[in-house]
Structures are given as C-alpha cells and as structure tokens.
C-alpha cells in the first residue's frame, strides 16, 4: 500500500458515484482533505452521506462540463455515467462530459500544478480481436454506434490527457478500468452484476443477452480503488495507460448461476438478443499494473459477490 507523505487536498469528480464514493472514503481514511464534485446525474448523495460528517470532506454540486476553480494537489477525474442505460440516455451530454470534462480538469491541473488521473475504461478496446487486452492494443471501436458516445468520448479524453502532458507538461495518470462491482452500484444501471442481483432478489427472470457465453472479468471495488491510489502515487514517468481489473474470466451465464446460488433465488434464465456492439470478450492483461504498481486483485469473485449481496438485499427490502 502506498505510504502517505503529506496531507493533500484532493478533488474527486464524480465523487458521489459508485467508484467515486469508495475513493473518497479511502482518501479520507488516509488523512487527506477531499472535495467531492458531482452533479448527481447518475449518482446518489446517499453514497457519501456518512462522509459528510467528516471534517475533511466537502461536497460540491457542479457539472464538470463547466470550469471549476478550486485549489488542489491531486485530481481524480471519474465524472461520467459509466453504464449503457445512463450514458445512452443523453449521448450528447455524455460526449461533453468526457471531452469538456477532461479539458476542464486538465486546465485546473495545469493552473494548480496538480497531478490528474483520468478514469478511462476497457471500452476503449471496443469489441476486441486481441485477447486478453494489453495497453498496447489500439482497439476495435465503432465510432458511430449507440455506445460510441462513451467509447469514443473516453478515447478522446485519453488523447487530451496525453496532448496536455506533451504540450504543457501536465502530470497525468490514465487508468483503463475493467468491469468493477460492489456496494453503491446503482440498482438500475443496466450492468450485469446489478441486473442479476436485483432480478434474483425480486424473483424475476434473469436476463441473459445472446447465448450467455460472452465473457467478462469482474474486479471487486476495494481492489480497483487500491489500484487507482497506487497509480496516483507512482513516479511521474508512469503516465499509463494502465489496465486495472481482475483477469479471472468467466461466462455471463456462469455469473448468473453464481448469483442465483448466493441469493437462493428460484429465478429462471431468459434469453434476449445481444445489444449492438456489445463485446463478446473482455479480459485485462494486468502485466503493467503488476510490474509498475505491484498491484493485483486480492478478492476472488466468490468472496466479492458474497460481500456485495447484503447491499442489494437491503435495496430490495427498502423498496
């Protein structure tokens, strides 16, 4: 685990979201002052309700497509809806969040001489024809599909980060985040883990798209946050991109069966057509993260799903 040299003031954009809220909690635990910026488009203030009692925490309601003026030492840019349900609802706004948001945090980092980390995504690889996906792979992305607002928006954000680094010397870090799960996921975000838990706990059919043989790799949230913190604390010459995810690959049908077993649900599997441009394979090559950050996931899918179950069970009991 990286050691804290000094107390820092850290801006987390998208800080009330799934990943952002866990990151804010981790940074506060390490003794930093945290400014959590969010416009609550796809997040929930309840995710950071407990953090608001902390003297080092400040919640700032703001849309990152507009400039922000705060004095900070580090910036984690997590601001963007990350599930197809949310980012396809307003695709133009999704592109603006990715591109204008990246420009605004980069300009802020330049003014403050701050380090800035971009939460990029495995979606930059599109529907990959290289497996597993290393950072050197340039991807297979449809630039005009229904997912392009997110995929190409994130790719453009990476371009802006590296151009600011080369042209202005901004201290950048780029993490390519693969499928992550855990408490604070939005129950209606359309992602497979939240879908399966909510359907199983409510006794509804489990929706499998395609034949259920497409593969994914799922990383528990605390492991992912540890990777982000390690990347931010790494030497300046480590800019990334660096893949962060769990290389334990499984079929989506297998994931459904595991969640049915954990919940004790008698829900049945229902087959639906595969969405447009939905990748058939997704698995990170984490060789760089292992060698540069001494990072790799520690929590197995079995244990992570069991730790996630009570969160979704609580949501269905409150409904």
Catalytic machinery residues: 150
Identify the helix (H) or strand (E) that includes residue 257: helix 252-263
DSSP state of 145: S
Measured between alpha carbons, how far is residue 198 from residues 41, 72, 173, 180, 308 in Å?
A: 21, 39, 35, 17, 12
CA distance 178 to 19: 12
Residue for token pair 């899918």: 301
CA distance 149 to 152: 6
Instruction: Using only the alpha carbons of the chain, give its radius of gyration.
Output: 19
Helix axes 192-201, 252-263, angle to 10 degrees: 40
Query: Got the DSSP string for 70-100?
Result: ---SEEEE--S--SHHHHTTSHHHHHHHHHH
Q: How many CB atoms lie within 10 A of CB 3?
A: 6
């Amino acid at each position: 685990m990286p050691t804290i040299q000094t107390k820092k003031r850290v801006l987390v954009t998208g800080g009330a979201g799934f990943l952002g809220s866990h990151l804010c909690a981790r940074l506060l635990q390490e003794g930093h002052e945290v400014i959590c910026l969010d416009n609550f488009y796809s997040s929930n203030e309840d995710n950071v309700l407990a953090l608001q009692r902390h003297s080092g925490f400040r919640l700032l309601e703001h849309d990152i497509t507009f400039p922000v003026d705060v004095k900070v030492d580090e910036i984690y840019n997590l601001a963007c809806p990350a599930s197809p349900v949310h980012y396809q609802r307003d695709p133009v706004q999704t592109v603006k969040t990715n591109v204008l948001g990246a420009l605004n945090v980069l300009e802020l980092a330049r003014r403050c001489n701050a380090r800035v980390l971009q939460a990029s995504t495995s979606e930059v690889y599109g529907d990959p024809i290289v497996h597993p996906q290393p950072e050197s792979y340039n991807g297979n992305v449809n630039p005009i599909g229904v997912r392009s607002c997110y995929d190409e928006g994130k790719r453009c954000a990476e371009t802006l980060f590296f151009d600011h680094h080369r042209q202005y010397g901004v201290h950048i870090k780029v993490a390519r985040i693969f499928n992550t799960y855990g408490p604070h996921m939005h129950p209606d975000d359309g992602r497979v883990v939240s879908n399966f838990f909510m359907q199983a706990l409510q006794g509804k059919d489990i929706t499998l798209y395609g034949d259920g043989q497409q593969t994914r790799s799922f990383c528990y949230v605390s492991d992912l946050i540890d990777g982000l913190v390690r990347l931010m604390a790494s030497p300046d010459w480590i800019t990334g991109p660096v893949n962060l995810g769990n290389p334990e690959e499984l079929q989506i049908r297998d994931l459904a069966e595991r969640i049915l077993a954990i919940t004790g649900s008698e829900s049945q599997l229902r087959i639906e057509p595969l969405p447009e441009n939905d990748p058939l394979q997704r698995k990170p090559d984490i060789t760089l993260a292992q060698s540069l950050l001494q990072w790799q996931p520690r929590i197995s899918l079995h244990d992570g799903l069991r730790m996630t179950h009570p969160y979704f069970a609580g949501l269905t009991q409150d409904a």
